[in-house]
Amino acid sequence: MHKVLVVDDDAGLRLSVKSALLAAGGFAVGEAFDGADALEKIKSNPSYELVILDVDMPRMNGMDALLAIKLLNPKIVVIMMTAHAKPEDAALALELGAFSYLPKPVSSQQLLDLIERATTASQLLRQTGAEDFEVIQKLASEDSSVVLKADQTQNLEKIAEAIHLNSSRKDQPFMVIKPQLSEELMSSDLFGHEKGAFVGAEKRKIGKLQMAEGGTLYVEEFTILPQEVQLKIERALVAKNYSPLGSTREFPSNVRMILGSSHSSAHSLPGVKLVALSGSLASHTELSPEL
């Protein structure tokens, strides 16, 4: 059961949002009539995971409340809503740590879809310790590709997803690619292929790099991938373009790659940061300049 606090000086809007959440199921919903009331409720009930926060309210407005909430508990996910959306306010809200900034009116389905992503982000953050959280926040605030190195990889995909869901790319796809021993199949899965590119390639295939356009691609155990695939990944990172198998065309790529590895041979790539994790997220070491 996800605990959500709806904060708005409009009682009718609070009821509308609360009703939509209760109808969807899986939510326990509280209400507050302004920012000051919200802070009191969060202090008395620290189990709130998500706050839906209006911007224009008496006593304490949404921006001041957002800052105070994040100081009180930075793991609370905050969605801002306003009837008077301004680009400069949206930029400030995101800089202060808001998950999203929505202009009113918002459809119930749009809000529920956003809340689903927000609660996933909240769950991932709450599974981390203080040091883990700080590293995830730092990496989420950046947009460069990164190599994650750890003794075990079972949690690296979740860490990569947490980074994505708390980054500026959170509204775009998050794709995962698993290692395959065949260079052709791995390259095809990653970059796609043209019809006839290899035996069995009976039709054109779109690769996960293209599917992740604008978002994040997590590559599991990249150090055990075929060497040719590793070189292709490196070229794609540096040149920010790629070619599907069997194609002479190059396609631009706007994707953040997160490369995971549990092997001691994990290394930084040109222009890519290496983050070494011990146990969970214990150390953060930059071995290469960012692109």
Please say if the pLDDT value at position 98 is more than 60: yes
How much is the pLDDT for 288?
39
The whole-number pLDDT of residue 284 equals 41
- Taking the model in full, what pTM does it have? 0.74
**Res 172: pLDDT:** 94
Q: From CA 70, how far away is CA 166, in angstroms rounded? A: 14
Confidence at residue 285, expressed as pLDDT on a 0 to 100 scale? 40
Start-end ranges of CATH 3.40.50.2300 in the chain?
2-126
**Average pLDDT over the chain, rounded to an integer:** 86
Residue 227 has pLDDT above 70, yes or no: yes
Q: Distance between terminal CA atoms of the chain?
A: 41
The lowest-confidence range among 18-32, 59-73, 231-245, 252-266 is 252-266
User: Class for domain 130-276, per CATH?
Assistant: alpha beta
Does residue 278 register a pLDDT over 70? no
Q: Above 50 in pLDDT, residue 137?
A: yes
Average pLDDT of 109-121?
Answer: 89
pLDDT tens, 152-192? 645 788 889 989 998 999 989 999 998 876 888 899 999 99
Instruction: Judge whether residue 46 has pLDDT over 70.
Output: yes
- The whole-number pLDDT of residue 150 equals 75
Under CATH, what is the fold of the domain 2-126? Rossmann fold (3.40.50)
**123 pLDDT exceeds 90?**
no
Task: Tokens for 166, please give them.
Answer: 């708390």
Give pLDDT tens digits for 228-276.
898 899 889 888 999 998 888 899 999 999 998 876 655 667 678 778 6
* The pLDDT value given to residue 112: 92
Token digits of residue 242 = 């790629």
Q: Where in the sequence of the chain do the CATH 3.40.50.300 domains occur?
A: 130-276
